[in-house]
Amino acid sequence: MIQSELWKKLKLTSRDGSRLALKLERLGTITREKILEKWRWTYKLILKKTPISTQSLGNAPCLTCPVEQKCTLEGEVSPRSCQWIQDWVLLQIKPKMIVK
């Protein structure tokens, strides 16, 4: 997102928008990259920390697993070797891999 777009969306002055962007950069939430946009120097704001989504947890196989009671890290039934978890993880990352 271009820094000036942030100001406009939040209905801030350019001064307040700039201060906000600098604070977000100091917090490590974004990085600012200087770019030339429409013959003016500005900053592109790049999100460093992707917001966490819990949407995919609704389909987690552990929630309905028939052997969940026996599941332990070192046991015969383990999340380390669970095919259901592997399949679920692959379903979660496939759409993201296609987009990139």
Instruction: Write the DSSP symbol of residue 75.
Output: S
Q: Identify whether residues 59 and 90 lie together within a single domain.
A: yes
Contact between residue 71 and residue 78 where contact means Cβ atoms under 8 Å apart: yes
Report the C-alpha gap between 57 and 9 in whole angstroms.
31
Residue pLDDT, tens place only, 50-79? 767 777 777 889 989 999 999 999 989 999
The predicted model gives 11-30 an average pLDDT of: 91
Looking at the structure of the chain, the number of domains it has is: 2
Contacts of 37 (CB under 8 A, 6+ apart): 2, 44
Instruction: State both tokens at 34.
Output: 């200087």
65 and 95 together in one domain: yes
Structure confidence by residue, pLDDT tens digits, 21-31? 999 999 888 99
Domain boundaries, position 29 = 3-47
Compute the distance between CA of residue 28 and CA of residue 31 in angstroms, rounded to an integer.
Answer: 7
Residues, the chain: 100
